[in-house]
Structure 1
Amino acid sequence: MLYHKLIATGRNLVIFLALLAGVASLQLSRLQTLQRPGDDYAQIEIDSQVRLDGLRLQLLKQLPSLGFRNLIANWTFLDFLQYFGKTELRERNNYRLSPAYFRVIVDRDPWFLRPYIFLSNSVSMYAGQPDVSVALMEQGLQSMTPTLPPRSYFVWRYKGIDELLFLGDGMAAQQSFEMAAEWARQSPDPESDAIAQVSQQTAQFLSQNPVSREAQIGAWAEVYLRAVDDKGRQIAREKIEALGGEIVVSEGGRVSVQYRASESQGPQDSR
């Protein structure tokens, strides 16, 4: 029986690698185009690259897993990082492929937490589709528990931030932060107590005022901390300042938010 299982696994691996080679050939074609000296990203080339990326994503979506779902999710995330790293390319195509990357990863491996940080930002803040980001996080959460995968409570926080800042739905955000607090309290993770406390505090702010300035500033502070590029940090800083706060970075690198003198609140520690 073990022999037959090993044979089947080996056969699946060969088939999977052959299929993946087809995706890799598209990846190589894309890199050769993007890395040409003096490339100024003419619009016709932008459109061509978007079509190529879309085709590769479609292949990844339809690729039979054959027991390698995690590998497909990892491959897709690495591909997204290359896409996101080409600033001019992604800005000129309006980040339109970000939702497709997010969808493939959640479909293949909803426990893969790292992409949620990158893709919730990219889909909500840059691609302007927070409803899609929230829906995909809801899908991923259906496969999670308070303890598995470790630190799963963060996905509830990301969802609450998108609902509050990009959908303007304070009531939904309150529920998400309450769930983040509940899951964090059940988690053995060392930082879970602090996350439970801050999540419950945000939910309390929102229960009293669905458009709470304190909750919005706190949410933008988290966006600032987990931003993956300077543009994201600049957007978050501007939003915090517009709400009456200020980002302060200590000599030791600790980030906090201080309210202006005209505001009645004290400093809010963010890291």
Structure 2
Amino acid sequence: MLLLSREAIATPFLICACILGVGLIQFPRLQKLINSKQSASLETLEKEIKSENLRLNFLQKMPSFGYDNFIADLVYLNFLQYFGDDEVRDKTGYSLSPEYFEVILERDPRFLAAYRALSISTSLYAGMPERAIALSEKGLKSLSPSVPEKSYYVWRYKGIDELLFLGNAQAAQQSFAMAANWASNFSDAESLLIANTSQKTAEFLSRNPNSKYAQISSWSMVLNNQVDERTRKRAIRQIEALGGKVITTPEGTQKIVFPPKD
């Protein structure tokens, strides 16, 4: 009985150790890529990217033994390291971004923060809004208005991608309407604000599929998502190109001024 008890206790730890070992293997490879970026040739970097892609494919298919969230967290940390390496990304692009989220959201479709990173990295930087939208649609099948908390944001991210990067105003209208619907289930200030702004964006699009107001509102959502400096500058450029203005208030916050006509 004592032997069986020890085996029962040891087995989960062995499984966890194996998964952790696989996860830790990821870091030296990416760290090697970062450390050698000053002298590495494009050919070398592309080989590293292919190797990373193969590893992500393996992680997507390997059994999790019940540690799906753990794997998702490790891969998300790898993604942050990958995405934040500006010098290498300037050379190789961001094509691996959706591959990271294939693993992350397959393992943990309720990982809310991942959807925001998915939209920015895959739609905005990798230029693959179709992949971002498809992954969001798949993940939404596992979500509900209350699980996880603030899951209405996923509909908003999806609507932004549909409107700004695909120009699909009809699909975006439906996504913003769903965001408003889910957010309206709650009475806190943040949810009420999201419900109101999402509903207004959906109404703009219903009246005018080419609505500048709706596009400016969507870029302002990007701007307010605690994005990096490059994304912030691009959002401001797009808002100004549509006739809007971004004003910094005395309190240090940013205010969007819409053009006089839609």
With structure 1 as the length reference, what TM-score do the two structures score? Answer: 0.89
The answer to whether the 8 Å contact 1:26/1:52 transfers is no
Worse-matched range after superposition: 179-188 or 16-25 = 16-25
> What does residue 14 of structure 1 align with?
14
* Structure 2 counterpart of 1:248: 247
- In the alignment, the residues of structure 2 paired with residue 136 and residue 9 of structure 1 have an alpha-carbon distance, to the nearest angstrom, of 37
Contact 2:23/2:75 (<8 A) preserved? no
CA distance, structure 2, for counterparts of residue 190 and residue 103 of structure 1: 33
Query: Which amino acid in structure 2 is aligned with residue 115 of structure 1?
Result: A
1:118 aligns with 2:117: yes
Report the equivalent of 1:168: 167
Alignment-derived partner of residue 30 in structure 1: 30
Match of 2:87 in 1: 88
Counterpart Cα distance in 1 of 2:149 and 2:59: 26
| Percent identity for Structure 1 against Structure 2 | 42
TM-score (norm 2): 0.92
Partner of residue 53, structure 2: 54
**CA distance in structure 2 between the partners assigned to 1:4 and 1:107 by the alignment:** 34
Q: After TM superposition, give the deviation of residue 4 of structure 1 in Å.
A: 7.2
Cα distance change of structure 1 residues 251 and 157 upon mapping to structure 2, 3 Å threshold? same
Per mean C-alpha deviation after superposition, the further-off stretch among 26-35 and 123-132 is 26-35
Distance of 1:33 and 1:201 partners within structure 2: 45
SS of 2:88's equivalent in the other structure is: helix
Q: Distance in 1 between matches of 2:25 and 2:99?
A: 20
Q: Indicate whether 1:128 and 2:127 are aligned.
A: yes
3-state SS of paired residue (1:256): strand
CA distance in 2, matches of 1:188, 1:211: 32
Map Cα deviations across residues 224-243 of structure 1 (whole Å, 9 max, x no partner): 12253211111111111110
Q: 1:230 to 1:65 in 2, by over 3 A?
A: same
Alignment of 1:168-207 (within 5 A): 168-187=167-186, 189-207=188-206
Contact (CA 8 Å) 1:161, 1:173: kept in 2 or not? Answer: yes
Pairs within 5 Å for 1:132-171: 132-171=131-170
Distance 1:7 1:200, change over 3 A: farther
Task: Give RMSD over aligned pairs.
Answer: 2.2
CA distance in 2, matches of 1:9, 1:138: 39
Number of matched pairs: 261
Residue in 2 that maps onto 1:216:
215
Structure 1 residue 45, shift from structure 2 partner:
2.3
- Stretches of structure 1 that go unaligned for 5 or more consecutive residues are 266-271
Residues 121 and 227, structure 1, Cα contact 8 Å, conserved in 2: no
Q: Is 2:69–2:107's contact at 8 Å kept on the other side of the alignment? A: yes
User: Could you tell me how far 1:136 is from its partner in structure 2?
Assistant: 0.6
* Alignment correspondent of 2:69: 70
Give 3-state SS (helix, strand or coil) of 2:255's partner.
strand
CA deviation string 1:23-60 (max 9, x = no partner): 42242133134224x72442122112212321321232
Give the 3 Å change call, closer, same or farther, for CA 63–228 of structure 1 in structure 2: farther
Show structure 2 runs of 5+ residues with no match: none
Q: Distance in 1 between matches of 2:97 and 2:104?
A: 11
1:151 and 1:187 in contact (8 A); partners too: no
**Mapped partners of 1:63, 1:137: distance in 2:** 22
Q: Secondary structure, in 3 states, of the residue corresponding to 1:186?
A: coil
Give 1:189 shift: 4.6
Q: 1:5 to 1:235 in 2, by over 3 A?
A: farther
Distance 1:75 1:65 in 2: 13
Query: Are residues 98 and 143 of structure 1, via their aligned partners in 2, closer, same or farther at CA, if it must alter by over 3 Å?
Result: same
Report the CA distance between 1:132 and its aligned residue.
Answer: 0.7
| Change in CA separation of 1:33 and 1:155 when aligned onto 2, cut-off 3 Å | closer
Q: Relative to 1, partners in 2 of residues 1:162 and 1:9: Cα closer, same or farther, differing over 3 Å?
A: farther
